[in-house]
């Protein structure tokens, strides 16, 4: 298959980093298509640790083209720092190896300030638990048609007009929240200064990708966050502000939907969530604590402790549909080692009725109670397993039951953070 989309099929943090790294070795082009530096991918290559937030994972591998698509919101100051950090680690980044879509909207300092001020002002129940990086306010400006986009950095008069348009909206908002008006001239000066560092990477990405595709190059579309944080299909309003599902790979880069050959959904063998919002299978007991400890469940971007719970097959079945998942990569199976009994959520009970999907209304979501199926656990270690023969019988039964319940096959199984500790069933890039 020529072009593969990788999406998180839960609430993010499914272990995409390792899988994307493994696939990016086989790809020619690696594209980010949504989100921003709210994402966090840790890559370990030959013992060197790379922490990436805005850059596509392919940058750390030589000979690849990395692309930031128009579906992303980009903090140019953060990006420049991130580029400098990986350059210091010996990675070469040039306009030949990194391209940024000219129509990518920028995240400005005022977006982060607004994000954080709103979260601080929010009362219990309305706080989203955002990463505080300005993602939501930047997307609001994009759809409000007042964003500053990468291409605007090239022309001073356009840039000034865009800043004035944005401040017309933001200054009254800030006043309402008790924040000082934006220092207009200071912001313009900052943007003019960063422009020379960003513009060399600006490119008509839709056109470059078309040429690459026609030349037979393999393109990997690297999703961030997870489908349950999708602005349309996630647990709204406790979501991120972009479309996260696989269809966004097309609109977020400018390729047609027919160019996507395989959608790989990344699924953790249990469930986690950072931030606020419904989580039907959340565990507040020692099992939840144990999943968090064994799974090292702390956020890469914010360091926050992740909420943990049993595997929710009902939700993953749903996200496999909305993203058109061809096969899943099941990660962190080894974290379940040593549990005597495991539970899988197969549906919900709501007002005496059984549902096989999570309803969209927030009050109904809050009242849904999970219906569980129990499975025996295993005492043996699965850590580092590289073939089915290395897995205990009960672990295989668990994986097979997951496949049945989510109605989607396992393409890859990951049993440790090491890239070789993977059982390959179907290579998404194979023809
Ligand atoms: P925002 O994307 O910063 O606006 O945050 C909105 C919601 O998405 C919050 O619940 C965040 O915790 C969550 N979120 C954003 N990025 C990630 C991620 O990369 N992994 C997991 N959760 C995320």
Specify whether 304 is located in the same domain as 384: yes
Specify whether 398 is located in the same domain as 293: yes
Asked, for residue 367, whether it belongs to a domain, the answer is yes
- Chain centre to alpha carbon of residue 259: 21
Specify whether 383 is located in the same domain as 341: yes
**Which residue in the list 21, 28, 37, 41 is annotated as catalytic?**
41
Specify whether 330 is located in the same domain as 403: yes
Specify whether 117 is located in the same domain as 54: no
- 267 three-state secondary structure: strand
User: Which residues form the domain of 149?
Assistant: 109-198
Asked, for residue 82, whether it belongs to a domain, the answer is yes
Q: What is the CATH number of the domain that holds 193?
A: 1.10.300.10
In a 10 Å sphere around its CB, with 0-12 CB exposed, 13-18 middle and 19+ buried, how is residue 403 labelled?
middle
- Residue identifier of the C-alpha nearest atom 23 of ligand 1: 225
Asked, for residue 91, whether it belongs to a domain, the answer is yes
Residue 352 makes CB contacts below 8 A (sequence gap 6+) with: none
Q: Locate the ligand 1 atom nearest the alpha carbon of residue 38 and give its number.
A: 16
Q: What is the CATH number of the domain that holds 375?
A: 3.90.170.10
- Residue identifier of the C-alpha nearest atom 8 of ligand 1: 240
Query: Which 8-state DSSP code applies to residue 423?
Result: E
Contact 40, 51 (CB under 8 A): yes
Asked, for residue 430, whether it belongs to a domain, the answer is no
267 lines ligand 1 (CB under 6 A): no
365 lines ligand 1 (CB under 6 A): no
Distance in Å, CA 225 to ligand 1 centroid? 7
Q: How far apart are CA 25 and CA 111, in angstroms?
A: 35
Specify whether 98 is located in the same domain as 184: no
Q: How far apart are CA 29 and CA 279, in angstroms?
A: 35
- Residue identifier of the C-alpha nearest atom 5 of ligand 1: 130
Distance in Å, CA 127 to ligand 1 centroid? 12
Main-chain phi, psi angles of 165, to 5 degrees: -60, -45
* Annotation marks residue 41 as catalytic: yes
Specify whether 258 is located in the same domain as 355: no
73 lines ligand 1 (CB under 6 A): no
Asked, for residue 431, whether it belongs to a domain, the answer is no
128 lines ligand 1 (CB under 6 A): yes
Could you tell me the mean pLDDT of each successive run of 10 residues in the chain, 431 residues long? 92 92 93 95 83 92 94 98 96 96 98 96 89 97 98 98 98 95 98 98 98 96 97 96 98 96 98 95 96 90 89 98 98 96 98 96 93 98 95 97 98 90 92 61
Q: Locate the ligand 1 atom nearest the alpha carbon of residue 302 and give its number.
A: 12
Asked, for residue 429, whether it belongs to a domain, the answer is no
Asked, for residue 76, whether it belongs to a domain, the answer is yes
pLDDT at 1: 57
Q: Locate the ligand 1 atom nearest the alpha carbon of residue 277 and give its number.
A: 10
Number of domains in the chain: 3
Q: What is the CATH number of the domain that holds 247?
A: 3.40.440.10
- 241 three-state secondary structure: coil
Which residues partner with 328 through β-bridges?
265, 410
Q: Using CA atoms in the order 339, 341, 345, 349, what is the torsion angle rounded to 10 degrees?
A: -130
Specify whether 165 is located in the same domain as 84: no
Specify whether 123 is located in the same domain as 24: no
Asked, for residue 290, whether it belongs to a domain, the answer is yes
Distance in Å, CA 391 to ligand 1 centroid? 33
* Annotation marks residue 78 as catalytic: no
The token pair at 300 is 């890469």
Specify whether 211 is located in the same domain as 188: no
pLDDT at 46: 78
């Amino acid at each position: 298959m020529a072009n593969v989309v990788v999406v998180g099929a839960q609430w993010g943090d499914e272990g995409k980093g390792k899988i994307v790294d493994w696939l990016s070795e086989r790809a020619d082009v690696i594209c980010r298509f949504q989100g921003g530096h709210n994402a966090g991918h840790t890559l370990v290559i030959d013992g060197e640790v790379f922490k990436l937030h805005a850059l596509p994972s392919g940058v750390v591998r030589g000979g690849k083209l990395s692309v930031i698509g128009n579906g992303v919101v980009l903090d140019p100051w953060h990006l420049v720092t991130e580029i400098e950090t990986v350059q210091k680690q010996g990675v070469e980044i040039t306009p030949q190896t990194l391209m940024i879509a000219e129509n990518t909207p920028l995240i400005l300092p005022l977006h982060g300030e607004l994000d954080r001020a709103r979260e601080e002002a929010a009362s219990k129940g309305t706080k989203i638990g955002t990463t505080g990086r300005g993602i939501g306010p930047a997307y609001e400006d994009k759809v409000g048609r007042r964003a500053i986009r990468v291409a605007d950095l090239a022309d001073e008069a356009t840039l000034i007009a865009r800043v004035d348009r944005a401040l017309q909206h933001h200054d009254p908002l800030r006043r309402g929240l008790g924040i000082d008006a934006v220092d207009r001239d200071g912001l313009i000066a900052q943007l003019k200064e960063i422009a020379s560092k960003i513009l060399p990477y600006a490119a008509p990405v839709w056109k470059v990708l078309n040429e690459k595709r026609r030349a037979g190059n393999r393109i990997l579309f690297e999703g961030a966050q997870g489908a349950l944080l999708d602005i349309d299909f996630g647990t709204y309003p406790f979501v991120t502000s972009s479309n996260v599902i696989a269809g966004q790979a097309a609109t977020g880069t400018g390729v047609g939907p027919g160019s996507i050959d395989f959608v790989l959904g990344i699924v953790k063998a249990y469930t986690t969530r950072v931030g606020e919002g419904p989580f039907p299978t959340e565990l507040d007991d020692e099992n939840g604590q144990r999943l968090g400890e064994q799974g090292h469940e702390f956020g890469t971007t914010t360091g926050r402790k992740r909420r943990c719970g049993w595997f929710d097959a009902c939700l993953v079945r749903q996200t496999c549909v909305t993203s058109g998942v061809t096969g899943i990569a099941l990660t962190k199976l080894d974290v379940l080692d040593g549990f005597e009994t495991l539970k899988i959520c197969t549906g919900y009970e709501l007002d005496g009725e059984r549902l096989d999907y999570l309803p969209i209304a927030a009050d109904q979501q809050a009242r849904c109670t999970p219906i569980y199926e129990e499975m025996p656990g295993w005492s043996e270690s699965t850590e580092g397993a590289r073939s089915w023969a290395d897995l205990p019988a009960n672990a295989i039964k668990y994986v097979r039951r997951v496949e049945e319940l989510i109605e989607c096959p396992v393409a890859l199984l990951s049993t440790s953070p090491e890239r070789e500790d993977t059982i390959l069933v179907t290579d998404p890039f194979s023809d």
